[in-house]
Structure 1
């Protein structure tokens, strides 16, 4: 729930603290990739580069048509490749995004495309299944112990009815036919199991690490074969895509009466999520959406990617996509008679994950969720890569370049403001026959907001 009071912000220096961490991960460039093994490793996230066969997760090479622009039909350059498995999923997962730099294809749907590659990890799947079984066994043991404890408290005759003086379960245990055991024994058993689970979890983590290393080793040792992908256009050399948390200045506290009740959004993992609930006001004078975008991005102008699975996209401008994702909330009709006169507050918009633009997954009909978005600075980085620019920009030069792009200073080539990627919530791996498969190559939904 958004804060109930959002007007009259205080600018007192005493109320401003250190920066707060949000739930957004920022992708930033981190130097060229020179290792041959890492270039062939799908688990190495990158900006640009060739989409060679061994960098794809599916065992069977995807068709080159996956990268073709839907406008000009020519293969597009790989913009980013991200290693982003879903939590507690047995599937290795990577996201691939291509973009067309042909001027005639700009501002048209289909000039930016995103695909996800999945590969079933048998070893990790077995570990997940064993971990789930251990967790269920632990929960069942605790449940039984709790039931026995409650039976002991509610049955006043348990001590007299029990043939074992050390048995607290008494009549309740005899009725259900469970063999009695001393409390101390039960407690020690639970403690022993918890220790066993702890040690098994540590072993599982070690096995998972070993499994991952084995997977990556096998991938990097794969021999390159002749493929249409090797001749595809590319931004070279590719750059490492590193991630960092987003930090923002804390929102000033509003000046409100001490007796007023303010509902704050719940924190997740100690991270500030109030920005996600901040509504957008309607204005005919200023594009507040664009103003907020530039302000938010300005805190870290080097960001190329914003990643927040199940999160809220950061809209670039007040276009049709914004109108759909952030609809005007319903309100009472305006009164038409003087006695019914009342003040109508400005309507504010919040993100609607059920937007009509978010078409369901064509494979499983699951809903689409926001996963990440490409930022304007990615165009700068790719242009520098294409022009072999290696100069390290100062903070002032970087901010100036970002502001230039945000204000419509794009040169010939890609012109988008941001590309939002919405993925299947189920991360499905169902084929046309309704069966689960081990290798998946599926296109995800991309919504592009173009330059203002």
Structure 2
């Protein structure tokens, strides 16, 4: 069992009680995808090949092609992300270009939101939710009856015969919680659970606020006057280039009370101090005037200057401090929340440092707005490029690999897709907004 999956009672004591109920959910690697253990549409996973709702229901080719080199994109993440109070299936796909020359270029990383409103899917999910509600109501009734029986037994005479005791003893018969299949509290819920009967309950964890009621929205008006489904755009042929695949498991974020200095920051500070000392020693030999001139300049060396800038960025420091509590995290899910900024100096940071967020509105639904949903974390790079296990990687390969700090995904608040973009299976895909904070942007 991984260190992120469970903590001992001693470790629990180092957490702030308020932080034990974080609404932020984290994703961790939960084993590789293999020929014998393949993902389904209901799984959340990293790398591998995307899984579409149906074999003949795929996004338009333009969504899966790099806007720069026109090569096929590779899957970074597929996340099963149902929303509260909805009966349809919902998947978020995140793709990136493998061509190193496209790094830091717009259109090299894309996010697609897919929705399946097939009648059978709607019926299945609605029945599952109704069954769950029935089980919950039955459980509440049994608990009430149980409480009444216990109260009566507290005042029952001691000379009752054994048979009568058995009949009236609420624990003498069947245990209303003995069958785990009918116990709605039997398992932990998370928004990426692949069991359909839990989808609606799970989504309540992540959808922490409901959209405020407004006047009739553009989406509602458009849906009433929408033309019939049009012929779908050209779909991509063949498989996509892929990264090694890994399943992801989800759990709530737990933050440690850590009074020690962050190891990475301490290491960087040491490098800077050492560089400054070497520089001072060298200048002392050349004379005080030259030393003064050198020390007043910011030119140490490119690497040290970059590290120094990172240390001066309170957002990067917060990013480091926050992630060190759960260093294995590859995904942060916080619907309607705020992203954890990798730095506070680039154009993406400016979008989220404004109040409210200045996220571009969806062009297909201009009366709506976008909200933060999740972000991919740097540790995902280690798994996608298999740097933990691949000893054949050389320095050039690593330097030419992914160079982003975090990828921030924002989706339409109304979760709308125009009717004409749904196919014969009632499946629709739309490209959403993502912001990339690159490593060299700090």
TM-score scaled by length of structure 1:
0.54
Partner of 1:373: 375
Q: Are the structure 2 counterparts of residues 70 and 129 from structure 1 closer, same or farther at C-alpha, using a change threshold of 3 Å?
A: same
- Residue 249 of structure 1 and its aligned partner are, at CA, apart by 2.9
Q: Are the structure 2 counterparts of residues 373 and 434 from structure 1 closer, same or farther at C-alpha, using a change threshold of 3 Å?
A: closer
SS at match of 2:386: helix
Partner of 2:359: 357
SS at match of 2:77: strand
Partner of 1:183: none
Q: How does 1:301-312 map to 2 (within 5 A)?
A: 301-312=327-338
- Residue 250 of structure 1 and its aligned partner are, at CA, apart by 5.3
Partner of 1:123: 123
- Residue 448 of structure 1 and its aligned partner are, at CA, apart by 0.8
Partner of 2:202: none
- Residue 363 of structure 1 and its aligned partner are, at CA, apart by 3.6
2:256 aligns with one of 241, 249, 255: 249
Q: Are the structure 2 counterparts of residues 410 and 357 from structure 1 closer, same or farther at C-alpha, using a change threshold of 3 Å?
A: farther
CA distance in 2, matches of 1:230, 1:34: 20
Partner of 1:27: 27
CA distance in 1, matches of 2:366, 2:422: 9
Residues 333 and 374 in structure 2, CA contact (< 8 A), matched pair in contact too? yes
Task: Please say if 1:233 is aligned against 2:221.
Answer: no
- Residue 24 of structure 1 and its aligned partner are, at CA, apart by 1.0
Residues 26 and 307 in structure 1, CA contact (< 8 A), matched pair in contact too? yes
SS at match of 1:247: coil
CA distance in 2, matches of 1:100, 1:82: 19
SS at match of 1:95: strand
- Residue 300 of structure 1 and its aligned partner are, at CA, apart by 1.2
Q: Are the structure 2 counterparts of residues 317 and 210 from structure 1 closer, same or farther at C-alpha, using a change threshold of 3 Å?
A: closer
1:114 aligns with one of 111, 116, 119: 111
Partner of 1:418: 406
CA distance in 2, matches of 1:116, 1:432: 15
CA distance in 2, matches of 1:288, 1:428: 36
- Residue 108 of structure 1 and its aligned partner are, at CA, apart by 1.6
SS at match of 1:240: strand
1:440 aligns with one of 410, 417, 428: 428
What do the CA deviations read for 1:242-284 (whole angstroms, capped 9, x no partner)? 11221113599xxxxxxxxxxxxxxxxxxxxxxxxxxxxxx99
SS at match of 1:384: coil
Partner of 2:351: 324
Runs of 5+ consecutive residues of structure 2 not aligned to the other structure: 1-12, 135-181, 187-192, 200-234, 260-308
Q: How does 1:96-115 map to 2 (within 5 A)?
A: 96-115=93-112
RMSD: 4.3
- Residue 231 of structure 1 and its aligned partner are, at CA, apart by 3.2
- Residue 297 of structure 1 and its aligned partner are, at CA, apart by 1.1
- Residue 230 of structure 1 and its aligned partner are, at CA, apart by 3.7
- Residue 383 of structure 1 and its aligned partner are, at CA, apart by 1.1
- Residue 302 of structure 1 and its aligned partner are, at CA, apart by 0.9
Partner of 1:72: 69
Q: How does 1:42-81 map to 2 (within 5 A)?
A: 42-51=41-50, 55-57=51-53, 60-81=57-78
Partner of 1:314: 340
Q: Are the structure 2 counterparts of residues 293 and 210 from structure 1 closer, same or farther at C-alpha, using a change threshold of 3 Å?
A: closer
Partner of 2:418: 430
CA distance in 2, matches of 1:381, 1:128: 35
How many residue pairs get matched?
284
Q: Are the structure 2 counterparts of residues 230 and 292 from structure 1 closer, same or farther at C-alpha, using a change threshold of 3 Å?
A: same
Residues 316 and 343 in structure 2, CA contact (< 8 A), matched pair in contact too? yes
Partner of 1:292: 318
Q: Are the structure 2 counterparts of residues 382 and 125 from structure 1 closer, same or farther at C-alpha, using a change threshold of 3 Å?
A: closer
4+ residue segments displaced more than 4 Å: 128-134, 202-206, 432-437
Q: Are the structure 2 counterparts of residues 203 and 27 from structure 1 closer, same or farther at C-alpha, using a change threshold of 3 Å?
A: closer
